[in-house]
Amino acid sequence: MNIIKDSTPYADGFRMPAEFEPHTGCIMIFPERADSWQYGGYAARKAFVQVACAIAQSEKVTVLASDKQYENARAVLPSHIRVAEMSSNDAWARDYAPTFVVNTEGKIRGIDWGFNAWGGLTDGLYFPWDKDNRMARKVCDLYDVDVYDKRDFILEGGSIHTDGEGTVMVTESCLLSKGRNPSLSREEIEGTLKDFLGAEKVLWLPRGIYLDETNEHVDNICAFTAPGEVVLSWTEDKEDAQYSLSLACLEYLSGQKDARGRKLKVHKLPLPKPVCIKEEECEGLDLCDDEPTRKPGDRLAASYVNFYIANKAVVMPGFGEDTDEAARKILQGLFPDREVVQIYARDILIGGGNIHCITQQIPGR
């Protein structure tokens, strides 16, 4: 693995493909952290295993696990899923695993962004985050692909989406947050996204999902389903705090064109009713920095948009709500060539994210 410090993917002819382009594999991390995953993480493990199995139907899945958890991971995952040892502070592969870029010959490289637990000492979610921050490079080494060293720029994989045709979508609330790259202007941040993702146009959604602890990652509110088409988390309830956030995104998107000059087609994906954490769930969580990570009744950032697009499936969350089936049908209509697999994901959501957050695709045929 070469560590590339003095060039950019764009300069070298590499771009980040869309998630709906072909993958050779997917990376996940085995959940372990006791202040994220209730009651020792057993329920979360089950959901992670279901996600891994659904994805492994059409691409090779590697689950990274600590030495301590290796045996447990190996025991609960089927033999066609690889388990590799790797240390982390938590289990959000989307945010710590490398962003992969490809060139026209199909060669891949990784990007090693800086990671600071979603806001560092300003508003990060835990301390320390050193093991997470080492992962992207280690994953590239594991797959023997070269890596761009961009640790001087704080970015999580969940805060970017691309159509693979020159358009990148982010949220202002996240990328302009004080805990990321406060010394950089919006234009400078946009320049980095263009240089590293091969983007020509950056779409800046104003906000994300209400109370999303990541400063509202784009991957929880809006995703590309095809070139020129996005799906947006939506509520018709004007009393809901989410209403104005989704509306602001809709209004923004309505006035924008993508890098190819297309007007964007926006599909609304209704949200579930507010999903709140229960007292007995909170009781199963350790403290973090002497404080509870959740309080009974806290609203969780539930959204059906937090899905993963595998080669032959879309793996989406369900919350045990009446709205689950309607959401599944909408997504199935948007992905006619893939089977939409819905997995009960309350136990992932409690950790603070969902299916897209715990996965990272490796592009390629």
Q: Token pair 């993480």 is at which residue?
A: 41
From the CB of 142, what's the least distance to a copy of itself, in Å? 6
> Which H, E and C letters describe 102-151, residue by residue?
ECCCCCEEEEEEECCCCCHHHHCCCCCCHHHHHHHHHHHHHHCCCEEEEE
Per-residue exposure over 73-84, b if at least 16 CB sit within 10 Å of its own CB, e if not = beebbeeebebe
From the CB of 131, what's the least distance to a copy of itself, in Å? 6
Ramachandran angles phi, psi of 147, nearest 5°: -135, 135
The residues that touch a copy of itself, with contacts defined as CB under 8 A, are 1-3, 67, 70-71, 74, 79, 82-87, 131, 134, 137-138, 141-142, 144
> Among residues 92 and 143, whose Cβ is nearest to a copy of itself?
143
Cβ neighbours for 255, distance < 8 A, ≥ 6 positions apart:
none
Distance in angstroms (rounded) separating the CA atoms of residues 171 and 272? 21
Helix (H, G, I), strand (E, B) or coil at 325: helix
From the CB of 94, what's the least distance to a copy of itself, in Å? 20
Other CB atoms within 10 Å distance of the CB of residue 255:
8
Q: Token pair 């997995």 is at which residue?
A: 343
> Among residues 89 and 192, whose Cβ is nearest to a copy of itself?
89
Question: Using CA atoms in the order 4, 308, 26, 180, what is the torsion angle rounded to 10 degrees?
Answer: 30
> Among residues 137 and 262, whose Cβ is nearest to a copy of itself?
137
From the CB of 143, what's the least distance to a copy of itself, in Å? 9
Distance in angstroms (rounded) separating the CA atoms of residues 153 and 254? 30
Catalytic residue among 140, 174, 222, 357: 357
Pairing state between β 23-29 and 360-363: antiparallel
> Among residues 71 and 251, whose Cβ is nearest to a copy of itself?
71
Half-sphere exposure in the Cβ direction for 114 (13 Å, CA): 12
For residue 18, give the amino acid letter.
A
40-to-46, 76, 92, 365 alpha-carbon distances in Å? 12, 15, 17, 37
> Among residues 74 and 262, whose Cβ is nearest to a copy of itself?
74
> Among residues 116 and 133, whose Cβ is nearest to a copy of itself?
133
From the CB of 216, what's the least distance to a copy of itself, in Å? 31
From the CB of 133, what's the least distance to a copy of itself, in Å? 11
The token pair that represents 136 in the structure block: 């992207």
53 is catalytic: no
Q: Which residues are catalytic?
A: 357
